[in-house]
Each structure stands twice: as structure tokens, then as C-alpha cells.
Chain A
């Protein structure tokens, strides 16, 4: 699906009237940042489950999802800054959305560093969950940053309800790219959580029977 969305977007969608062909970066940039935020949201739900009901698996999932979140946030930032060179004339600007997304990236790294800095893993899980919950305030800030502050970023041109200000010939491949990247990241998440759960539970009986 990702390949379909990208082929359509890169080769068949028409040129943008203002930006020419550089807008084609959108088919990687927008899906990436959507999942940068969704993965964090997923981690926050897991953190709540871990803190309230002491679900051990929830903490394992946070730890497995955080590197993927960091990776996709990096792709979002990086593709955005390359896009900025021909379009805005600068690769970096301390505008609200870029800055808050950079904070999201640092949060992901901070969560991983915090977890890695404790030898007591149960304690590490708990503190990591608390940090994830604290960091969740950043998500609505990223979402609303283009409306609250006047920035280089355009306000959202796609809305779930009502009409989008983007032409269907660009919207459909974008939509398919989002779904495709979603499936890609879910399969990556399954792989990485599999190895992490096994490594945490390697002393249990089921783990030794599993291999």
C-alpha cells in the first residue's frame, strides 16, 4: 500500500501550482508526522495502563514503540527541513510546529535514556510511564500550533469532517500513503516488541518453550 501511495503521488499526481514538484515530499512527510504523534498517543495509553492497573506488558510496549517513534519523528523533521530548502528558502525555522515536533523527538530520546539509566527494570518501567504521561501535553500543542501562533507552516488543509482544501488527485495518494506507512510501522512494532518481550521474559518457562 505504501508503494502504491508513493508511486501514485510521485509519478501521477499533478504538479502543485505554487510549489512545483517539491510538494511531492508530502507523501512521506505528512504520514510520518501523523504517526510520530499517534505512536506517542499509543504510548501514553500504555503508560496509563501500566501505572493504574500495573500491566507489565504495557510498559514493554512503550519501550518497544519509543525507538520507532523517534525514528519516524526524525524522518518527519528531516523530510520537512529538506522540503523547506526549495519552498521556504530555509531548512530550519524556530516556528511553533517545528519546535514542538523537535521537543517530541527529544521526548522519545529522553524516555529511552531514562529507561536505560536504571538497573531496576520495574522502577525504570514506572518512571518511564510517568515521563510519557507528562510529555503528552506536547501532543495537542503540536496539533494546534499552526492555529495558535502564526507560523511558516500552513494551517491544516485536510479535515476529517467537511471539505478539504486539497485536490482529490493529491489527497487519495496521500491517504493511501498514510495507511501504508501505518501498516509498515505496525509490522515493525510487532517485530520489535516480540524481541523485547522475549528478552524481558527470558527466564520464564513460556519463553524457553517458545524458541
Chain B
């Protein structure tokens, strides 16, 4: 069960001709998830900034 399915790095990239499909899906999927995290973090910062501004003015 723990034997590698591939012999070398090129085989991992190629995946018997399916590499382009497999890797593009994972690349774009990871990218979308990472961007979502960045947006969420940015929003928290923005809101905190707004509240701080309001606190300072009152």
C-alpha cells in the first residue's frame, strides 16, 4: 500500500499522459482556496481598521 506508484519525477508529472489534467485541477483548486484565505484575512483587517477609526473619532 505504501509503495510509490511512480518510478521518477517525470512519471509523477506525466501520470501516463493524464498529468496535465490531474495537476491543473490541483493547482487551480489550491490557488482558489489560498486566495479565499487571503481575502478573508484582508476583510478582518479592513473591518478592524474601520472600527479603530471610529473609536479614534469618538
Which A residues lie at the B interface, using CB under 8 A? 6, 10-15, 20-22, 24-25, 28-29, 32, 67-68, 71, 74-75, 78-79, 82-83, 85-86, 168-169, 184, 188, 191-192, 194-196, 198-199, 202, 207-208, 210-211
Q: Is the CB of A74 within 8 A of B5?
A: no
B55 interfacial by beta-carbon distance below 8 Å? yes
List the B side residues contacting A67 at CB < 8 Å: 36
A6 touches B25 (CB 8 A): no
Contacting pair B21 A82 (CB below 8 A): yes
Contact residues in B for A210 (Cβ distance below 8 Å)? 51
**B44 lies within 8 A of A12 (CB):** no
Q: Tell me whether A6 and B26 are in contact in the complex, defined as CB-CB below 8 angstroms, given that A75-B32, A198-B51 are known contacts.
A: yes
In the complex, the chain A residue whose C-beta lies closest to that of B52 is: A211
Contacts A188-B36, A191-B37 given: A12-B54 contact, CB under 8 Å? Answer: no
| B residues in contact (CB < 8 Å) with A | 1-6, 12, 15-19, 21-22, 24-26, 28-29, 32-33, 36-37, 40-41, 43-44, 46-48, 50-52, 54-55
Give the docked Cα–Cα distance between A207 and B41 (Å). 17
Do residues B25 and A28 form an inter-chain contact, with CB atoms below 8 A? yes
* Chain B residues closer than 8 Å to A194, beta-carbon distance: 44
Taking CB atoms, residues of chain A closer than 8 Å to B29 are: 28, 32, 75, 78-79
For B18, the chain A residues whose CB sits under 8 A away are 20-22, 24, 86
| 9 intermolecular pairs with C-beta atoms under 8 Å apart | A10-B12, A12-B4, A21-B19, A28-B26, A75-B29, A188-B36, A195-B44, A195-B47, A198-B47
CB within 8 A of B22: which of A25, A169, A207? A25
Q: How far is the CB of B10 from chain A (nearest CB, A)?
A: 13
In angstroms, Cα B2 to Cα A12, docked, is: 6
- Inter-subunit contact A202/B51 (CB<8 Å): yes
The answer to whether A184 touches B33, judged by C-beta atoms less than 8 angstroms apart, is yes
- In the complex, given contacts A25-B22, A28-B25, A211-B51, what are 19 additional A-B residue pairs having Cβ atoms less than 8 angstroms apart? A12-B1, A32-B29, A67-B36, A71-B32, A75-B28, A75-B29, A75-B32, A79-B25, A82-B25, A83-B25, A86-B17, A168-B1, A191-B44, A195-B44, A198-B44, A198-B51, A202-B50, A208-B51, A211-B55
> For the complex, what is the distance from the CA of A207 to the CA of B36, rounded to whole Å?
24
